[in-house]
Amino acid sequence: MNIEGNIAIVCITENGKKLALNIQSLISNSHVYVVSNKQNKLQIECETKNIFLVKEKLSVLTKKLFKEYQYILFIMATGIVVRVIAPYIVSKFNDPAIMVTDEKGKNVISLLSGHMGGANEMTNFISNLINANPVITTATDVNKKSALDLIAKELDAHIDDFRDNVKDVNSMLVNNQEVGIYIDGKYDVDTRGFKILESLENIENIEKIVVITNKKDFLNNYINEHKRLDIDKRHLEEKIIKVIPKDLVIGIGCRRNTDSELLKESLYDLLEKYNIDIKSIKEIGSIDIKHDEKAIIDLSKSLSIPFKTISANEISKVDYLFEKSEFVKKNVGVYCVSEPVAYILSKGNLIIEKHKYKGITISVGRVSK
């Protein structure tokens, strides 16, 4: 398992401390917090960057940990943990993953943020490390079925009306109601419990259909490609829940002091030509000399998409693969920008070659999911 983020391990007894230190030795980027008070009188040999002796109340420590960690493992009674985390719980989209284990390490419980926070995955991981029994109670997992929020997390995807759609689909799955799934592209997701659809024909009895696609106008595109003019478009639209993976990267080259609105309009034009949903963009990028280019920064902010820069040295290693420009070489030190940037950001999967606009070039790559 590739652990993204960090984990805090909290203990309040001597046996708990021993278990915490054992787990910490097995997981990189993990920190142990030994809570010492007048009753337990816990000590540690010496504080390190990974092991801390805490003399404040558990509730005070917990408040801090909620803000700083993606995962928190409490080694203590579940009742204590429930009471201590209660004031800080917000939602499954904000809360860290909370796990609990007894001080003997017999059971590891996924307590909070099982899917979105990753508590279920981490519970299984830690259980395997210490030979414990994983306790997972989310209904879809118990029934050995996938879940819409889990698919969204796997794909880093956008879903409109996320809460309501996740609630409806997951409820249908655990109650053995038929939910269709149509995968438009090469996406490897857990489809357990879903009815996999090869087409959108003969689906009158299916109430909900999850469609994984990065197309802006998926349905019209589907109808045109399959020459299905007899499809009741409105009826089908009501069934579809669109899952839009954030798997596209945009490479941008532009002249200095390019107009922000012109760059935005150029990108929108490209997306329209290729029927790409703007919500599928994972990041935009350019050469490092453009790190302060206002138009690109404005675009990044307006779309709430990260802006990454690639060094000229890194670009020079692959720019020979694409059409060369002596003008670009003279100005920025490499033969081209947008294509190698999209190529690098997508790890070699360029799907749309550069399109030229007024002093602007734009290319698109796709990150494997």
pLDDT recorded at residue 338: 97
Angstrom distance (rounded) from CA 36 to CA 65: 16
Beta bridge partners of 172: none
pLDDT recorded at residue 228: 65
Q: What secondary structure letter does DSSP report for 96? A: P
pLDDT recorded at residue 41: 80
Burial level of 248, CB count in 10 A (0-12/13-18/19+)?
buried
**Which residue in this structure is represented by tokens 């995968």?**
183
pLDDT recorded at residue 322: 94
Torsion of CA 182, 184, 185, 188, to 10 degrees: -30
pLDDT in tens, the chain (369 residues): 344 459 999 999 999 999 999 999 999 889 999 999 877 788 887 777 789 999 999 999 999 999 999 999 999 999 999 999 999 999 887 899 999 999 999 999 999 998 888 899 999 999 999 999 999 998 888 888 999 999 998 999 999 999 899 999 999 999 999 999 999 989 999 999 999 999 888 888 899 999 999 999 999 888 888 776 566 778 888 899 999 999 999 999 999 999 999 999 999 999 999 999 999 999 999 999 999 999 999 999 999 999 999 999 999 999 999 999 998 998 899 999 999 999 999 999 999 999 999 999 999 999 987
Angstrom distance (rounded) from CA 85 to CA 100: 12
pLDDT recorded at residue 114: 87
State the DSSP string of 59-82. HHHHHHHHHH-SEEEEES-HHHHH
**Which residue in this structure is represented by tokens 């999209």?**
342
Angstrom distance (rounded) from CA 31 to CA 52: 8
pTM over the 0.75 mark: yes
Nearest to 96 by CA among 65, 132, 135, 121: 65
CA-CA distances (angstroms) from residue 361 to 303, 317, 329, 353, 364? 19, 19, 15, 10, 11
